[in-house]
Structure 1
Amino acid sequence: MNNPFTLQFEVQQDMLLREAVALCGISKRALTAIKFDGGKIFVNSIERNVRHRVVRGDIVTIVFPQEEASEGLIPQQGHLTIVYEDEALLVIDKPAYMSTIPSREHPDNSVANFVLGYFQAQGLASTVHIVTRLDRDTSGLLCIAKNRHIHHLMSAAQQQGDVHRQYEAIVYGQATNQSIIEPIGRKETSIIERQVRQDGQFAHTDVEVIKYGRLNDCIMSHIRLTLHTGRTHQIRVHMAYVGHPLVGDELYGGDKEIINRQALHCVSLTLRHPLTKEILSFSSELPEELASLL
């Protein structure tokens, strides 16, 4: 590992270095890691501590410490469909049947395993920070931060509504355009399943019907969904709650007679870049097994 993440900026007014660093959104936790875990801060190419006073026009360079992957995450070489990459972000198009992170049932060959192997092959001193996670059987666009600091900024952006995701799904029945605002929590009898429950976390999903169809004498709907929150299984739980479970979703009322996974794909991802503040938009076509149903 010989490519630590580096951030550079120009000071806009006289202040303490600590204050200038904070204006860049660097958390106290990250600053502590920089101080004690091998990072460095330079002002005009001279290493300084955070009590140093900077003036307008000074160039501050922050070298973040090398990150260590968690013990359970093993780097692996595998195919990744990379849609976008720069020094801060990685956006991939995830296929179905690939976990985002390892689990007891699927301990390897996950997105995280392959991304860590990819990072190590590039010599990046970083571990994997998932920004927008997808269920194993859900396909589509997924965003990863290349550094703990970038992950912190992207998490804040999600809370502020600056990360927008749209999905397309095929559901049973004749769905309607609607906004579903119902709290979601863990089902008491399951460690996996979620449900709408009043003591759950706030969750908001917008539903737009694209078209109706019929397959094997069953009415179905092709819908577009916009997530305003990111709860576990949110779309699957909300659609089952309103009586339109996803085709192929056995966990929430569907069946696998037509397709062997939930018919759900993340088709669109729009975000504000955490460093440049540029708006980035990405799209992904429906995979063949979903397109063929239409």
Structure 2
Amino acid sequence: MEKFEATITSANENERIDKVLSTFNEEWSRSQVQQWINDGLVTVNGKDIKGNYKCKLDDYIELQIPEPEILDVLPEEMNLDIYYEDSDVLVVNKPKGMVVHPAPGHLSGTLVNGLMAHCKDLSGINGVLRPGIVHRIDKDTSGLLMVAKNDMAHESLVDQLVNKTVLRKYKALVHGNISHDNGTIDAPIGRDKNDRQSMTVTDENSKTAVTHFRVLERFKDYTFVECQLETGRTHQIRVHMKYIGYPLVGDPKYGPKKTMDLGGQALHAGILGFIHPRTKEFLQFEAPLPGEFEELLNKLRKS
């Protein structure tokens, strides 16, 4: 059982213990933390507490994180769009609408289910629910993902992500007309304290986030842009473009209420490049825009 420790600072003073703990890890929901508290896995200054405990300055928190539940994730035959594959890595073009990895209560129909049917040798570093998954893209974002087929490859690819040497370029359609041709957004991203399901630009419990963008094409009320990730925070491009006043078209979470109904944001991870873990050769791949995205641009060109 893994142990997590933290000391309360003035930033979290007088806040509920369940809320505070859920900000330390984006995968810990408040309901999950409440369950841990009820199970006696959380102590403050060595004593058991209740979920409504209000934190005090310098409180010492200990959490005994239970072992993850063993879930049965089954292989599912899928027509995967594989761009590259060898004994170490695989590059796949994920379609819009597909979830990358299973979660409790949602164990089928994901990219991982398809990968498990396609190949039997996936890295086990990220556990039973995320075999081979080094990075992810949102359900309604299409595009290229690199997958590790063994632990050596996984560690190498993760190191490249940490060292910002992986090339990741996305194409997006945003609301508004961006007047300058390129720019850099350097703004930290963290959980929105008013909405745990959303991310936002904030200085509280945030991580550095940098996105570079350049304009590809302008329309009357929209701009087609290419965004290059320097970091890879949750919803980074969606949050950053909203932050500078140009939210993604079709984005139900960060876009305006009046936006095109596209079944999700107009965002495609089109270019992916990395150093092969074994051969040390730099590999780069490019996936064209999905048909519906290209059709949307053609409509705007004619309007």
Q: 1:91 to 1:250 in 2, by over 3 A?
A: same
The structure 2 residue matched to 1:130, chosen from 130, 133, 150, is 133
- Output the amino acid matched with 1:144: V
- Output the amino acid matched with 2:292: E
Q: Partners in 2 of 1:106 and 1:243 — Cα distance?
A: 34
Q: Partners in 2 of 1:179 and 1:194 — Cα distance?
A: 19
- Output the amino acid matched with 2:284: S
Q: 1:226 to 1:126 in 2, by over 3 A?
A: closer
Q: Does 1:191 align with 2:196?
A: yes
Q: Secondary structure at the match of 1:74?
A: coil
**Normalised by the size of structure 2, how large is the TM-score?**
0.69
State whether residues 241 and 248 of structure 2, in contact with CA within 8 Å, keep that contact through their aligned partners in structure 1.
yes
Q: Could you tell me which residue of structure 2 aligns to residue 35 of structure 1?
A: none
**Where does the alignment leave 5 or more consecutive residues of structure 2 unmatched?**
1-68, 125-130, 298-303
Deviation (angstroms), 1:102 = 1.6
Q: Could you tell me which residue of structure 2 aligns to residue 211 of structure 1?
A: 217
Q: Could you tell me which residue of structure 1 aligns to residue 223 of structure 2?
A: 221
Cα RMSD after superposing both structures: 1.8
Q: Partners in 1 of 2:190 and 2:261 — Cα distance?
A: 29
State whether residues 122 and 132 of structure 2, in contact with CA within 8 Å, keep that contact through their aligned partners in structure 1.
no
Q: Could you tell me which residue of structure 2 aligns to residue 249 of structure 1?
A: 251
Q: Secondary structure at the match of 1:192?
A: strand
Q: Partners in 2 of 1:259 and 1:111 — Cα distance?
A: 21
Q: Does 1:201 align with 2:207?
A: yes
Q: Secondary structure at the match of 2:195?
A: coil
Q: Secondary structure at the match of 1:248?
A: coil
Q: Secondary structure at the match of 2:264?
A: coil
Q: Could you tell me which residue of structure 2 aligns to residue 100 of structure 1?
A: 100
Q: Identity rate of aligned residues, in percent?
A: 38
- Output the amino acid matched with 1:244: Y
Q: Partners in 1 of 2:111 and 2:72 — Cα distance?
A: 14
Q: 1:105 to 1:181 in 2, by over 3 A?
A: farther
- Output the amino acid matched with 1:228: E
**Normalised by the size of structure 1, how large is the TM-score?**
0.71
State whether residues 119 and 126 of structure 1, in contact with CA within 8 Å, keep that contact through their aligned partners in structure 2.
no
Q: Partners in 1 of 2:107 and 2:254 — Cα distance?
A: 24
Q: Partners in 1 of 2:203 and 2:97 — Cα distance?
A: 32
Deviations 1:74-104 (A, max 9, x none): 2221121000000100100110000011235
Correspondences of 1:6-21 after superposition (within 5 Å): none
Q: 1:125 to 1:142 in 2, by over 3 A?
A: closer
Q: 1:125 to 1:223 in 2, by over 3 A?
A: closer
Q: Which 10-residue stretch deviates more, 254-263 or 190-199?
A: 254-263
Q: Could you tell me which residue of structure 2 aligns to residue 273 of structure 1?
A: 276
Correspondences of 1:111-122 after superposition (within 5 Å): 111-120=111-120
Deviations 1:168-211 (A, max 9, x none): 00000012421000000011233321000013100000010001
Q: Secondary structure at the match of 2:115?
A: helix
Q: Partners in 2 of 1:70 and 1:181 — Cα distance?
A: 39
Deviations 1:100-134 (A, max 9, x none): 112357431110111012223xxx37552212311
Q: Could you tell me which residue of structure 2 aligns to residue 261 of structure 1?
A: 264
- Output the amino acid matched with 2:141: T
State whether residues 140 and 284 of structure 1, in contact with CA within 8 Å, keep that contact through their aligned partners in structure 2.
yes
State whether residues 123 and 154 of structure 2, in contact with CA within 8 Å, keep that contact through their aligned partners in structure 1.
no
Q: Could you tell me which residue of structure 2 aligns to residue 155 of structure 1?
A: 158
State whether residues 131 and 154 of structure 1, in contact with CA within 8 Å, keep that contact through their aligned partners in structure 2.
yes
Q: Could you tell me which residue of structure 2 aligns to residue 171 of structure 1?
A: 174
- Output the amino acid matched with 2:267: L
Q: Partners in 2 of 1:148 and 1:126 — Cα distance?
A: 5
The structure 2 residue matched to 1:180, chosen from 185, 189, 192, is 185
State whether residues 99 and 106 of structure 1, in contact with CA within 8 Å, keep that contact through their aligned partners in structure 2.
no
- Output the amino acid matched with 1:274: P
Deviation (angstroms), 1:70 = 5.6
Q: Partners in 2 of 1:254 and 1:133 — Cα distance?
A: 25
Q: 1:253 to 1:125 in 2, by over 3 A?
A: closer
Q: Secondary structure at the match of 1:266?
A: strand
Q: Partners in 2 of 1:240 and 1:233 — Cα distance?
A: 11
Deviation (angstroms), 1:159 = 1.3
Q: Could you tell me which residue of structure 1 aligns to residue 301 of structure 2?
A: none
Deviation (angstroms), 1:72 = 4.5
